[in-house]
Amino acid sequence: MSVNALYTDLSDYYDLMCADIDYQAQSHCIHRLQQLFGNGGRRHLDLACGTGPHVCHFSDAGYSSAGLDINQPMLDKAAMRCPQARFSLQDMCSFTLSEPVDLLTCFLYSIHYSGAIERLKACIASAHAALAIDGLFCFNVVDKGKIDNSLFAAHSVENDEGQFTFNSGWSYPGDGEQQALRLRIEKTTAGQTEVWNDEHPMVAVSFAQLQTLLQPYFAVQVFEHDYEKLIPWDGVSGNALFACVKIG
């Protein structure tokens, strides 16, 4: 099953999959980065926006916020959640805008959905072209060299349809530009359990490689993956938050 097919089938459950995410804290952190490093403008676009929770938080904070995604069912839900925002069906590696924005975001490691280094380069170029001068591009990312294939994150949640258990983990074979996000989703209703298993193909990149790709376009700051406090990356951890200011 393809990545897009899985998410189309499970678009009604996407918010349950992400029920443990503090969207408000993440959005507020990037707002602070925009104040500290960006141009202070309030035109915002969220890449791979899903069902739009980040867009809503930025809109509530006074931004003229918009989102794009490759999945129309997700966008339909985003438009219902945040009717004041604008949403478009576009690929984050080849998107165009009618006017520049001041802030670009790409949360939940979605930058890896570019899938391959050449498409990641195209995503970076598209982001640069979309930003106003001194605009800020923020995303979180994992270093391929720091991935532990044995680690999984899991959480469970219930709604009227039953109990859901979500498991996810990174997998990297040790070389090349491909890694995978492994997902297992269980839905239990009246003692009957349905299971979805999938591997999402993702681009594998080291932080050093990524900085090299970004440097022709951006002045890059790298922070620890902590949305509560801004701490410079220690050079060791494998998860980081990149804040990239357009340089020309």
Distance CA 231, CA 214 (A): 20
> 157, 203, 154: which is closest to 176 by C-alpha?
203
Asked if 107 and 26 touch (Cβ cutoff 8 Å), the reply is: yes
pLDDT at 6: 52
pLDDT at 1: 43
**pLDDT tens series, the chain, 248 aa:** 445 555 555 677 788 888 889 999 999 999 999 999 999 999 999 999 999 999 999 999 999 999 999 999 999 999 999 999 999 999 999 999 999 999 999 999 999 999 999 999 999 999 999 999 999 999 999 999 999 999 999 999 988 888 999 999 999 999 999 999 999 989 898 889 989 888 899 999 999 999 999 999 999 999 999 999 999 999 999 999 999 999 97
Q: Tell me the three state secondary structure of residue 202.
A: strand
What's the pTM value of the predicted model, to 2 decimals?
0.94
DSSP assignment of 209-238: HHHHHHTTTEEEEEEES-SSS--B--SS-S
Which residues make beta-bridge pairs with 169?
182
Give the tokens for residue 73. 């069912």
DSSP state of 147: -
pLDDT at 190: 87
pLDDT at 219: 98
pLDDT at 36: 97
All structural domains of the chain, each given as residue ranges with its CATH number in brackets, are 3-144+204-246 (3.40.50.150), 145-202 (2.20.130)
Distance CA 223, CA 234 (A): 8
What is the length of the chain? 248
